[in-house]
Structure 1
Amino acid sequence: RLALAALAVDARINIEPLDLADVIRGPVEIPPAPAMQPYRTPMAALLHRAHARVLRDGWCADRLRDEQGARCLIGAIRAEAGSRRDADDACAFLLDIIRDEFDPTAETIASWNARQRDGHMPARILGHAASRADARGI
């Protein structure tokens, strides 16, 4: 019986040669996945978006944005904020986090940002500030 069943299956299988042009295609453009938003509070979400922007576009010092599109901390926050007031509130919160948890001598975000050697610490501080804002419910 098994031999007859195998023959019946073989008879049903299409044995035409496979045309690879139907299978192989050029590179497929995959749309970017929507950015994951882990925070529900407005300031935490804003700081998270600024963090993602610095990671994506790069970091710079001594200007809001450089020729390549990299941004300083304030520039990234302003680019992501819905209003100047939201940006100012987020910057004030960020400066408090910098002073309280990283550098008590920081006078301004710009002066602290300018003292950094690369974008590692500025990106880290934005991520940390987003987490702290979420923990505080702001």
Structure 2
Amino acid sequence: MTTRTATDFTHVDPALYAKAFQLLDPTPEPAAPAAPAAPTPVSLILAAAPPVHRPGPVEKTLTDALAFLDTHGWAKHRLIHPEGARCSIGALRAATGARNAAYRDAGNLLLDEARSQHGNQWESIPAWNDSHTGPQVRGVWEAAIRRAHHLNI
């Protein structure tokens, strides 16, 4: 399975940004170096730091399972291919190690996203997995991960 690496970013001239910020904040720069400021207490630095995202169990399970597919490969029509590739259910099982709540909830979200993208006729993840191409399956995985992230689950 391949991952798209092309970006859609447009190169921006750093000098243009510098000029724009200068126009927005026209305060002159000091001629001589300023005296070093007093050290900032660590508590102020920590208080100003943005919160770190901690993925919920569903997002983590889906992310780990997709990483497993990226590493070992994706398969159709079998849980585990002799060379190590797995189908979507096999990847979920590998990511959780057991059929626990995270496994169940991640599977439900993945199937819901598959139905959202490919129609409500899919009764199970294996049926959907076996009827689609690798890029289609990957697109559903990525959308399910984004959804889990957005829902903070």
Q: Which bin holds the TM-score, normalised by the shorter protein? A: 0.5 to 0.7
Alignment RMSD = 1.7
Alignment of 1:11-90 (within 5 A): 40-85=55-100, 86-90=102-106
Offset from partner CA, 1:19-74 (integer Å, 9 cap, x none):
xxxxxxxxxxxxxxxxxxx7611111110111111122111011111011101001
Q: Does the C-alpha gap of structure 1 residues 39 and 67 become closer, same or farther in structure 2, counting only changes over 3 Å?
A: farther
**Residue aligning to 1:99:** 115
| Misfit runs of 4+, over 4 Å | none
Tell me the matched-pair count. 100
When normalised by structure 2's length, the TM-score is: 0.60
**Contact 1:51–1:126 (CA under 8 A) maintained in structure 2:** yes
Q: Residue in 2 aligned with 1:127?
A: 142
Within 2, Cα distance between the matches of 1:45 and 1:74? 15
Gaps of 5+ in 2: 1-52
Distance, in Å, in 2 between the alignment partners of 1:65 and 1:82 is: 14
2:117/2:140 contact within 8 Å kept: no
Change (3 A) 1:102 1:87: same
C-alpha separation in 2, matches of 1:128 and 1:71: 19
Instruction: Tell me which structure has the larger Cα radius of gyration.
Output: 1
The question of 1:115 aligning with 2:131 is answered yes
Question: Percent identity, aligned pairs only?
Answer: 34
**Alpha-carbon offset, residue 82 of structure 1:** 4.6
- TM (norm. structure 1) is 0.66
Which fold has the larger relative contact order, with Cα–Cα distance below 8 Å and residues 6 or more apart in sequence? 1
Query: Can you give the 5+ residue segments of structure 1 that lack an aligned partner in the other structure?
Result: 1-37
Distance change (3 Å), C-alpha of 1:116 and 1:45: same
Secondary structure in structure 1 of the residue aligned to 2:122: coil
